[in-house]
Amino acid sequence: MRRPFVIVLALLLIIAAVVWQTLKSQSHDQEEKGSYTEETLNNETNQSVKVVTLEERDEKTNSVSNISYPKFGQDKIDARLALISDDFLTRYKNAVTGLADIQVSYGADYVQKFEITFIKDQLTIVSLEQYASEGGGTGTDELKTFIFNSHTQEEITPAQLFKDEKYLDVLSKLSREKLLANFEKSLVDTDFSDSTPTAKEEFIDFSKKMITDGTEPLATNFSSLTLNEQGSLIIHFDKYQVAPGASGLVTLEIPYQEISSNFSDFINQIFTPKQPTNKEKESVKKPRLSHEPSAQTKDDTSKTDCQKHACVALTFDDGPSIHTDKLLDILKEKGAHATFFVLGKSAKYQTQTIKRMAQEGHEIESHTFRHRDLRKLNQDEIATELRETDEILEKIIGRRSQFLRPPYGAVSDSVKSDVKRPLILWSVDPLDWKDRNTDLIIERMSTAKVGAIILGHDIYDTTIEAIGPVIDNLRKKGYQLVTVEELLSGHDLKAGQIYRHQ
Ligand code: NI
């Protein structure tokens, strides 16, 4: 290629990335507003959602995966989501095998989080966001969406949302118009002063062609469709489909009124306004979550003074999960308190478990939102991991976390300065994530000495089975089981400092 052409091309790509980054951040703001509504958290149906988290690590290749998906107690839906998640885990394992002979500082990193939207008791919509990176690279983001009939548990395909096959032409036309309009709008704010008129023109042509190609009336272009509570159609476009890769996944909303004449009768009957039933009226009047002092401080006034007593702290990471309530039963029966380092992505949906933790006097702290290795994130991404988790906790229990336990205990100097709060690690690691063996876990946890912080994971039933005997063993040694806050209460804790204690 001739050099001037290469320069023009490079320039085009940079401008394209900047413009689409702007577009993306606009659409991202809209998304965020929608995803943290009180409605989502208060939804009655939500109470039955439990979180399954699969975690795998490979020390040889420095690879990690943390895969979460919901379990509704509805066999067909649960099986479908479990299958997709298991496939993702298999992809991770294959990636690890592929890396086996290569020396890398960060191997494969696979993370899955999910979002649920319940619509008028009739639809259950689940999106699984799968992030995968190998060898410390930027990685790929993929969104998989599933719409289920809440009663029959049947999956509703994109085509079944509409009355006939003409829907692809309609979606093509509507989405192309909207994306082109958004693009034109973004041009107004773009500074082209550094580019030649030809470069500007080529950039515009290139972008428009991407939009046109990506919105051709093909089923593959419109395979990721969902609905929101208002009946608007949400179209998710893959990375590189309608914009440069820097924009990531592009989301477009088509208001209900614009698309309803194409929807199937089943979908329209869900969104047609009808008189609210008495039950619905009542639920509207239901008071919002109070922000009074949390149950944690209300119910639990007796703090143990660890300057005077022999204390140890049991801590649990990666929950809440499908197993956490059983752990809470055991702790309640034993009259012991623990500290839960929870994931925002799971706390958001298993809200009843988080409330129960607070009411029963346990400490709730942050283990980030997605369980990414923080050493691979920049300052903004770390801040987002912390803020999103705290916002969820504040909504559920009325308080934010004060400590952070970094995923995998992975810390670097920049992580320490970016988190701006004390980092809590551990002094006893039973390796319960590796050895799913209750007897081994009992043995290892019971070696704890005065002042120990004991690590555990409430995503494994093998760990939870161990806790009753562990509590008995520790008490036989004369120890009191306390929260991390109690254990460290006499200390002057500093932001960015690591505490393992003992
Ligand atoms: Ni963890």
Q: How remote is the CA of residue 291 from the centroid of ligand 1, in Å?
A: 28
Q: Are strands 233-237 and 423-424 parallel, antiparallel or unpaired?
A: unpaired
Q: Give the per-residue pLDDT at 240.
A: 84
Convert 232-254 to b/e letters by CB count within 10 Å (16 or more is b).
Answer: bbbbbbbbebbbbebbbbbbbbb
The encoded tokens of residue 330 equal 């055991």
Distance CA 451, CA 456 (A): 16
Amino acid letter, residue 235: I
Among 158, 162, 155, which Cα is nearest to 260's? 162
**pLDDT over threshold 60, residue 38:** no
Phi-psi region of 384 (alpha: psi -120 to 50; beta: other; left: phi over 0): alpha
Decide if 228 contacts 234 (C-beta within 8 A).
Answer: yes
Please tell me the distance between residue 440's alpha carbon and the centre of ligand 1 in angstroms. 20
Alpha-carbon Rg for the chain, nearest whole angstrom, is 25
Q: What is the pLDDT of residue 47?
A: 63
Span from the CA of 101 to the centroid of ligand 1 (angstroms): 26
pLDDT tens digits, 329-349: 999 999 999 999 999 999 999
Mean pLDDT of the region 61-76: 95
pLDDT at 305: 87
Q: Is 320 helix (H, G, I), strand (E, B) or coil?
A: coil
User: What's the pLDDT tens digit per position in 457-467?
Assistant: 999 999 999 99
Q: What is the pLDDT of residues 151-189, one digit of tens each?
A: 999 999 999 999 998 999 999 999 999 999 999 998 888
Q: Within its chain, how far is the Cα of 260 from the centroid?
A: 31
Residue 282 has pLDDT above 90, yes or no: no
Distance 79 CA to ligand 1 centre (A): 25
pTM above 0.85, yes or no: no
Of 58, 317, 418, 458, which is the active-site residue? 317
CB 80 within 8 A of CB 149: no
Across residues 464-479, what is the average pLDDT?
98
Span from the CA of 267 to the centroid of ligand 1 (angstroms)? 40
Q: Mean pLDDT, to the nearest integer, of 476-502?
A: 94
The DSSP annotation for 26-92 comes to: HHHHHHHHHHT-HHHHH-GGGGG-EEEEEEEEETTTTEEEEEEEEE-S-HHHHHHHHHHHHHHHHHH
pLDDT higher than 60, residue 324: yes
Give the C-alpha separation, 421 to 180, whole Å: 44
How far does the centroid of ligand 1 lie from the alpha carbon of residue 364, in Å?
14
Q: How far is the CA of 268 from the centre of ligand 1 (A)?
A: 43
How do strand 140-149 and strand 50-58 relate by DSSP bridges?
unpaired
Q: Are strands 250-254 and 233-237 parallel, antiparallel or unpaired?
A: antiparallel
Predicted pLDDT at 31: 38
CA distance 44 to 225: 25
Task: For residue 462, report the distance from its CA to the centre of ligand 1, in Å.
Answer: 16
| pLDDT given at position 325 | 97
For residue 373, how far is its CA from the centre of ligand 1 (angstroms)? 10
Q: What is the pLDDT of residue 308?
A: 85
Calculate the average pLDDT of the chain. Answer: 87
| 418 noted as active-site residue | no
Give pLDDT tens digits for 285-298. Answer: 444 444 444 444 44
Question: Which residues have CB atoms below 5 A from the ion given as ligand 1?
Answer: 317-318, 407
35 has a pLDDT exceeding 60 = no
Distance from the alpha carbon of residue 303 to the mean position of ligand 1, in angstroms: 27
457 assigned to active site = yes
Q: Which of 22-26, 144-148, 315-319, 412-416 has the lowest mean pLDDT?
A: 22-26
The C-alpha atoms of residue 319 and residue 346 are separated, in whole angstroms, by 7
CA separation for the pair 385, 499 (Å, rounded): 20
Measured in Å, residue 367 CA sits from the centre of ligand 1 at 7
110-123 average pLDDT score: 94
**pLDDT for 501:** 84
Q: Is the pLDDT of residue 360 over 80?
A: yes
Catalytic residue among 58, 457, 458, 501: 457
Task: Compute the distance between CA of residue 263 and CA of residue 156 in angstroms, rounded to an integer.
Answer: 13
